[in-house]
Homo-oligomer: A and B are copies of this chain.
Amino acid sequence: MAEGPEPKRRRAEAGDGDGVAAGNGAEAEAGAGAGAGAEPGPGAPFPLSSVRLRRLLRDSAREKAAFVHGQVTGPSGEDTDAVLILEKTPFQEEKIEELLRKHTKLELQMANDIYSTYRLYPPPELSEIKTTVVYPATEKHLQKYLRQEVHLIRESWEDYKNITLPFIQSQSFSIQWVYNILEKKAEADRIIHENQDPSNGFVLVPDFKWNQNQLYDLYLIALVQRRDVKSLRDLTAEHLPLLKNILQEGKEAIVKRFGVPGSQLRIYLHYQPSYYHLHVHFTALGYDAPGTSVERAHLLADVIDNLVLDSSYYQKRALTFALRADEPLLKKFQEAGRV
């Protein structure tokens, strides 16, 4: 999936153009609710076996996930909508040997020299499918999971001034949660590094998507102290000290706290960003995080070099980004005849 930038008020960027993460998003919304571990019985909340498949909303062949619109007929004959998210689960190392021994059937497909391929059919207990149900589902839920067409926009500086900037200003997304962090009213205990300079300072915190249990999906965010820089488009050579601080101190703080050196980090900005207060992403290089694709991510080192080369680089150059069909900004570009 391409990353369709989606202006959001919330920090949690899970689901950014990532089919499976959207499923996780649903769970996150649900929270750690009651009923965990309970067995479904006659009083189970959802009759999975009697669901009728209406349509496939979306699937991900790469991630082995499917988003399904189903329907259930109630006792009085009325149909109710449901969204089902099915996702095959990763292999567990300790069960692989068992899997090879206990397969129920093995079909040779191809053999040539030292290579051969098979279809292996595992016993049920070794082939779990994670199933998430939204029931009853509204039209809004169905739309949320429906595959959206994505359009590439090539935004000139004039487009930015005439279309994007007025749109951002009209939306007035709340970024109070950013100010709460900067003012230590929230998440103060999560701060990894801080530079308090009002012009060239920033705060480094773990992103909500990262649970800090393992390093392979390391994800941190640097939030700048100053409040007058919305995005990449505002940057000039004036901001070089700030950007260099983030690059240098961010790397130092991460190797010190987590032992991950700078050569193992992907450090970048999004354009369009999810919220318009300048921030920089730090992700583990080996982690294929959503939003690292060339049509959304800009390496901080490249941004710095471009500004050294030309202070008004980001007020001259066209920038490319993708928008999903349901995003309001796409409508603005369409109305302006730019798509």
User: CB within 8 Å of B: which residues of A?
Assistant: 1-2, 20, 26-27, 29-40, 44-46, 48-53, 56, 59-66, 68, 70, 84, 86, 88-91, 93, 96-97, 99-101, 103-125, 127-137, 147, 149-154, 217, 262-266, 268, 285-288, 292-299, 301-302, 305-306, 309-310, 313, 316-318, 320, 322, 339
Contact = CB atoms under 8 A, between A and B. Distances in A.
B285 A301 contact: no
B320 A301 contact: yes
B63 A27 contact: no
A127 B121 contact: yes
A263 B152 contact: yes
Contact of A62 (B2, B149, B288): B288
A117 B133 contact: yes
A65 B39 contact: no
Given A45-B116, A117-B131, 8 more contacts: A20-B62, A30-B114, A48-B118, A105-B124, A118-B132, A120-B131, A294-B294, A309-B316
Contacts of A128: 119-121
B294 A318 contact: no
Given A48-B100, A285-B150, A309-B310, A115 B33 contact: yes
Contacts of A265: 152
A277 B161 CA distance: 39
Contacts of A310: 309
A93 B27 contact: no
Given A44-B108, A97-B52, A127 B137 contact: no
Given A52-B97, A93-B59, A124-B124, A39 B130 contact: no
Contacts of A48: 100, 103, 106, 118, 120
Contact of A285 (B34, B110, B286, B322): B322
* 9 smallest beta-carbon distances between A and B, as pairs: A33-B112, A30-B115, A35-B111, A294-B297, A127-B127, A121-B124, A66-B91, A61-B90, A104-B124
A127 to B, nearest CB: 4
Given A31-B112, A123-B124, A293-B292, A106 B40 contact: yes
